[in-house]
């Protein structure tokens, strides 16, 4: 959605609406899965060298747990979202969709663990990770015993 900077009045330009999940253009095996429309309700203010945004962003996602790799539901809800866009010289417009897309991706928790995202959940692999971190010995490699095999030949 193209916004012309000259259309933004001094008191700000208000926009609200929804974008489809497809704006994210993420592959299905990405650790972030958009699960539906994202909504926005924002006001834009134009300054000499930047456009400032403030308002609300909300949308349903699934995030992949960094430990058990399961996807868990996460409602991104940013009721006091602010952002700004540095304008290049001569820039007359920008794509609001791109701003909102990038800001969701920046604000979503990265490398989250499912038990941090969902209250009361226990990550099924949490104990495995602690067990691995607790061991100091490197795993012994399974080496076929070639000398025994040579002895059998003689
Ligand atoms: Zn997990």
Nearest to 3 by CA among 54, 39, 43: 43
Distance 70 CA to ligand 1 centre (A): 6
Distance 48 CA to ligand 1 centre (A): 46
Give pLDDT tens digits for 1-58: 899 999 999 999 999 999 999 999 999 889 999 999 999 999 999 998 999 999 999 9
Which residues have a Cβ under 8 Å from the Cβ of 115 and sit 6 or more positions away? 121, 122, 123, 126
What DSSP element (H or E) covers 98?
Answer: helix 96-107
58-67, 69-78, 109-118: the lowest-pLDDT one: 109-118
* Distance, CA of 103 to CA of 97 (rounded, Å): 10
Distance 20 CA to ligand 1 centre (A): 28
pLDDT at 128: 78
Distance 2 CA to ligand 1 centre (A): 39
Residue 145: Cβ within 10 Å count: 8
% of the chain surpassing 90 pLDDT:
75
Distance 59 CA to ligand 1 centre (A): 22
Distance 133 CA to ligand 1 centre (A): 16
């Amino acid at each position: 959605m193209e916004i012309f900077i000259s259309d933004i009045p001094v008191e700000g330009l208000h926009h609200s609406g929804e974008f489809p999940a497809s704006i994210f253009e993420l592959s299905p095996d990405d650790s972030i899965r958009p699960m539906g429309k994202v909504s926005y309700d924002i006001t834009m203010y134009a300054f000499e060298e930047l456009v400032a945004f403030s308002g609300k962003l909300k949308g349903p996602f699934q995030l992949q747990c960094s430990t058990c790799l399961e996807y868990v539901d996460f409602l991104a809800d940013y009721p006091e979202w602010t952002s700004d866009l540095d304008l290049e010289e001569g820039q007359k417009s920008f794509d609001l969709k791109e701003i909102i897309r990038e800001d969701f991706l920046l604000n979503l928790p990265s490398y989250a663990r499912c038990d941090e995202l969902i209250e009361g959940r226990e990550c099924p692999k949490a104990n495995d990770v602690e067990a691995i971190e607790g061991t100091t010995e490197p795993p012994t490699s399974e080496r076929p015993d070639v000398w025994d095999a040579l002895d059998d030949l003689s």
